[in-house]
Amino acid sequence: MKKMFILLFAVLVLATGCSSNNNNSDRYGKIWDFRKGFVVTKEDGRILVVRDKVANLEVPLSEILEEAQPNAIWLSVDKTDYDAILVGDQVSIKIPNGTVDLSYPAQATADVTKK
């Protein structure tokens, strides 16, 4: 009986220790990798990209950001990319130096192309 109790206790400890609370996931359980997204606004050589397509781009930006949280990033882009991208476009994102400021919205310098 004592061996059974020890075995049960060991299994319980192992099962608890192996479970994970992944703090890197967003509210949907997926981690956004910043590789693609949708442009929701442009200003001063930067574009604001969110992970999921926004149904109505006419709503205030604060509502779009609230709905997208934590999946939004301001991207500083070169003039050619800035001029080629339109609000509503799906874009591919390449962050050459890999550095992302994880404020909200996140911020980075990137190369973007229309998908």
Q: Which one is predicted more confidently, 7 or 41?
A: 41
The pLDDT assigned to 2 comes to: 59
CATH class of 32-114: mainly beta
For position 6, what pLDDT does the model report? 57
Predicted local confidence at residue 54, as pLDDT: 95
Residues 6+ apart with CB under 8 A from 35: 92, 93
* Contact assessment for residue 40 and residue 48, using Cβ atoms and an 8 Å cutoff: yes
In whole angstroms, give the CA distance from residue 4 to residue 10: 10
For tokens 């950001």, name the residue: 65
Q: What pLDDT does residue 20 have?
A: 41
Q: Could you read off the pLDDT of 42-76 as tens digits, one per residue?
A: 999 999 999 999 999 999 999 999 999 999 999 99
Would you kindly state where each structural domain of the chain is located, as residue ranges? 32-114
- Percent share of the chain, pLDDT over 90: 67
Q: What is the pLDDT of residue 115?
A: 86
Mention every residue, 6+ apart, whose C-beta is less than 8 A from residue 101.
107, 108
Query: Encoding tokens for residue 33?
Result: 């990798």
88 residue type, one letter: G
pLDDT greater than 50 at residue 18: no
Model confidence at 29, in pLDDT bands (50, 70, 90)? low
- One-letter amino acid for residue 13 of the chain: V
